[in-house]
Amino acid sequence: MERVLRNFFLFLSKNKLFTKLARKYGLRFGAGRFVAGETMENTAKVIEELNRKGMDVTIDHLGEFVDNEEEAKQRTDECIEAVHVIAEKNLHSQLSLKLTSMGLDISEELVVENMRKILEAGKKHSVFITIDMEDYERYEQTLRIFQQLKEEYDLIGTVLQAYLYRVEEDVANLNEYSPNLRLVKGAYKESPKVAFPEKKDVDENFKKIIKMHMLNGNYTAIATHDDAIIEYTKQLEKEHSISREQFEFQMLYGIRPERQEELVKEGYRMRVYVPYGDDWYGYFMRRLAERPANVGFVLKGVFGK
Ligand code: FDA
């Protein structure tokens, strides 16, 4: 049943009509539990609160599958504005974004041009930018663009997904860039031709790449809500005397907030991924796919408390 629900929500996450309707009608159905706000103004308050609790943030300017140049430009300007607000308000925050929001599906030239504008703003205000990893169809192109931009800018990172069979090879190949990488299990519905279908294999591969990247001496963001993976990382830290300056944990806004605070109290760096913006639909559906228990929140959102 869980797998059926997961596939159902992942299918819904790609529906373009629902994406458009969601933008038009605003945050609904309990999405506010996972999305900080539709404007940067509201979101800044959420970031300040998290910073007060000792947590760093990466704000995610929600948006994906943009198919016209004008909209890609508008999303780019919104990201630049977010960088300015981070700087003006002195927020402890980075920025995360998706290349499809910046025009990846329109042309590579356009997406690189838009990314350079955002990275220039990041460079000017010392704001780190992470390129989220999307579905496998766009994987190689995303890695290629990351490598190209990494040669031009320091404050840029990307994400690798443990569910991919090839990910170990990619960790090894990217090592020459000493990249700051976020490592995750992977959130998209992928074919068993490219990704492990079984959770236990994904978990094993996740541990493998965390160890590889950390022992290569690179900055590692371990993005998970899974206690077994968190414990594994702590064990690595002890066994190999890895400095706490070399890694951080990351979790999503609204998921396990009490665990986030505990990790801060234990003296670990904790970064919360805070999504904002009107393009919340695909993100919200993927969160439901991960944990059908969250559907309860949706029903409350639809039918009241
Ligand atoms: P998993 O979903 O396997 O959960 C493991 C355990 O965690 C559960 O058994 C439970 O114990 C606990 N848990 C999980 N959710 C809980 C909840 N709501 N309440 C209580 N306990 C809970 N993906 C991607 O493809 N590209 C990307 O760029 C990113 N970026 C990203 C950034 C950040 C900061 C995070 C945290 C995640 C991503 N992801 C992502 C998503 C990622 O790939 C993955 O889908 C989710 O993190 C879910 O996987 P977990 O590692 O949390 O474990």
Query: What pLDDT was estimated at residue 38?
Result: 80
Burial annotation 139-174 (CB, 10 A radius, 16+ → b, else e): beebbebbeebbeebebbbbbbbbbbeebeebbeeb
Domain count, the chain: 1
259 lines ligand 1 (CB under 6 A): no
Q: Does residue 242 belong to any structural domain of this protein?
A: yes
Pairing type for strands 56-61 and 93-97 reads parallel
**Ligand 1 atom nearest to CA at 293:** 18
Structure tokens at 20: 């458009």
Q: Could you report the per-residue pLDDT of 243-254, keeping only the tens digit for each?
A: 999 999 999 998
85 lines ligand 1 (CB under 6 A): no
Round to whole Å and give the CA distance between 104 and 106.
Answer: 5
Q: Which of 53-62, 63-72, 286-295 has the highest mean pLDDT?
A: 53-62
Q: Does residue 7 belong to any structural domain of this protein?
A: no
Which residue numbers are catalytic?
132, 182
181 lines ligand 1 (CB under 6 A): no
Domain with residue 229: its CATH number is 3.20.20.220
Structure tokens at 193: 């031709």
Q: Which residue, by CA, sits nearest to atom 20 of ligand 1?
A: 256
Q: pTM for this structure?
A: 0.89
The residues facing 221 across adjacent strands are 182, 248
Q: Does residue 232 belong to any structural domain of this protein?
A: yes
Q: Does residue 28 belong to any structural domain of this protein?
A: no
Q: Mean pLDDT throughout 86-99?
A: 96
**Ligand 1 atom nearest to CA at 229:** 51
Domain interval for residue 217: 36-279
